[in-house]
Structure formats: structure tokens, C-alpha cells
Amino acid sequence: MSGEYYGSALQAACAANRSLTVKLLIENGADVRFKGGSYGTALHAAAVRGLYPICERLISSGASVHECLGVFSATPHAVATCGHDNVVQLLLERGADPNQKGAGDHFAVSVAAGGDHQSTVKILMERSRQLGGYLKGFDSVLGVLKRRGNIDVSLLFW
């Protein structure tokens, strides 16, 4: 089953936080990697709503944390927009790239900072350090902070 807004029944169930329906659909062969609809994947639909248990089930059932489809684009980027730290942490632990670009060619950290999600910014920065790299989008974060005059988030950098 596929549709225009929700790409599949599984994506619709994820977006509606229907855990039992998600479980039954997966047990009966729903494709957790199906791409389509406004969210791109079922994982996107659950992640942007902060639905940790559903995200965990989808990933454990084979959903990719690397997909870049749909309106919300890259999964870590989408979740950073909403500030769902537990889901951001789950995605990063399962291999999501904190430097993956999302919608509008922005990085997750700059979107999180723009939304004043301080703890999400901190999680993304720490994960990037663990990977031994420079957190891409850092310069744009400083620009966002300067424009907004947000002292609290800027303290995370020093």
C-alpha cells in the first residue's frame, strides 16, 4: 500500500504513534525501507515526532538511519529540528552521520542551534568529536547564534 502523503501504511502508523499497528505491520512483512510520501521513510515519520520505541523497532527491523528522502530530508537533521535528544542519540549510536546535510543544504547542528535545542547541539558536537572530526556546520551555528543573540547555546562552544 502506498499513498501520496504517507508513503505506506507503516509510515502512517509511525506518524500516528500506533506502536501495536507498527509491530503487526512489521511482523507481517511491511517494508521498513520503503521510500515515498512526504516523510520519505517510516523512520523519518517516527523520528520527527520523537517516538523512540517506534524508531528503535524500525532500526532493529532493518530501517536505515542513512536515508535522505522526503520533505524532512536526512534523519538526524529532521530530528535535530525538533529537539528530540533521545532519538538523536539513538540515530547516532546506530551509525547516523552528524555531518550529513539535510533540507536546504544545512547541517543538523545549525538547525538544532537555530531552534534553540541546546542539548541537541551538545549531543551532535560530542558525537562528531568521538568520530575524530570537525563538526560541519559549526561556522553556520556561530552565525545563527550571533543573529539571535543567544548566549546560552553559545556557551556550549567554550
Q: What is the DSSP string of 66-102?
A: T-B-STT-BHHHHHHHHT-HHHHHHHHHTT--TT-B-
- Count of domains forming the chain: 2
Range list of H helices, 7-150: 9-15, 19-27, 42-47, 52-60, 75-82, 85-93, 108-114, 118-130, 138-148
Give me the half-sphere count of Cα atoms (radius 13 Å) on the Cβ side of residue 61.
22
> What CATH number did the domain enclosing 23 receive?
1.25.40.20
pLDDT value of residue 133: 55
pTM: 0.76
- Does residue 79 fall inside a structural domain? no
Q: What is the predicted pLDDT for the residue at 1?
A: 47
Neighbours of 129 (CB within 10 A): 12
Query: 61 with 115, same domain?
Result: no
Residues 88 and 68 in one domain: no
Residue 61 placed within a domain: yes
Q: Which of 11, 46, 72 is at the close of a domain?
A: 72
Considering the domain architecture, whether residues 44 and 96 belong to the same structural domain is answered as: no
Full pLDDT tens readout for the chain, 158 residues:
455 678 899 999 999 999 999 999 999 999 999 988 888 889 989 988 899 999 999 999 999 988 754 444 455 656 666 778 898 889 888 988 877 766 666 677 777 777 777 788 888 878 776 665 555 555 555 565 656 665 455 555 54
Q: CA-to-CA distance for 106 and 149, rounded, in angstroms?
A: 20
The answer to whether residues 68 and 89 belong to one domain is: no
Q: What are phi and psi of 5, to 5 degrees?
A: -80, -60
- According to DSSP, residue 32 is labeled T
Q: Give CA–CA dist 116/83, Å, rounded.
A: 9
Task: Report the CATH number at residue 99.
Answer: 1.25.40
Is 77 part of any domain?
no
Element (H, E) at 153: helix 151-154
Provide the residue range defining the domain that includes 66: 1-72
Specify the pLDDT at position 105. Answer: 64
Query: Does a structural domain hold residue 125?
Result: yes
Same domain, 55 and 88: no
Q: Are residues 98 and 121 in the same domain?
A: yes
Q: What is the pLDDT of residue 33?
A: 93
- Among residues 49, 72, 95, the one where a domain terminates is 72
